[in-house]
């Protein structure tokens, strides 16, 4: 039938933003491409890590305001820094590979990551608390599940190193209520 939706295709891994029961009731097929944008997402996470390390967003705002505050935005090098990856599946593994190539030390929290796979990837498998306490940068790469929703709660953010930089290219949400956001910014 002309004009009737037959398929909903979702680029990426998640379909949590599609009402699957409603689509099924109308005979609409829902599908995704779980590996379709893995490299793109991983490279985006690395790009955001560079942007945070070099304070590019803040420097851009300053420059757009007509200022040239070169000494204010020196940033940090990522070489030798600890990258904590929360969720070391397909995308997290690609991020780990790229980060190791940049001479970062990579630690990972993922309950499904086997010790053998961690060894193959060249990452150290750690607990969430250990990752929070050791990471200079944290990169999230988890699906949105009841276990990962708000994985970076105010309580967990309080366990992070002072000045930690966080990249979220995942479907997992994390708590950024106003007091939490204020405390995170104040800690940086």
- List pLDDT tens digits, range 140-169: 998 878 888 888 889 999 999 999 999 998
Confidence of residue 76 (pLDDT cuts 50, 70, 90): very high
pTM (2 d.p.): 0.80
Res 188: pLDDT: 39
The answer, yes or no, to whether residue 33 has pLDDT greater than 70, is yes
CA-closest candidate to residue 95, choices 51, 38, 149, 56: 38
């Amino acid at each position: 039938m002309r004009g009737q939706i037959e398929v909903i295709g979702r680029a990426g891994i998640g379909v949590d933003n599609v009402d699957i029961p409603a689509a099924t009731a109308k005979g609409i097929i829902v599908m995704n491409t779980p590996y379709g944008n893995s490299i793109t997402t991983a490279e985006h996470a690395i790009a955001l890590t560079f942007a945070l390390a070099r304070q590019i967003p803040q420097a851009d705002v300053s420059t757009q305001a007509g200022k040239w505050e070169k000494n204010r935005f020196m940033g940090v090098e990522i070489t030798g820094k600890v990258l904590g990856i929360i969720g070391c599946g397909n995308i997290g593994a690609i991020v780990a590979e790229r980060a190791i190539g940049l001479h970062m030390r990579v630690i990972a929290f993922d309950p499904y990551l086997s010790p053998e796979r961690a060894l193959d990837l060249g990452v150290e498998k750690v607990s969430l608390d250990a990752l929070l306490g050791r990471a200079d940068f944290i990169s999230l790469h988890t699906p949105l599940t009841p276990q990962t929703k708000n994985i970076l709660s105010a309580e967990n953010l309080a366990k992070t190193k002072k000045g930690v930089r966080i990249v979220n290219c995942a479907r997992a949400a994390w708590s950024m209520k106003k007091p939490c956001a204020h405390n995170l910014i104040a800690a940086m």
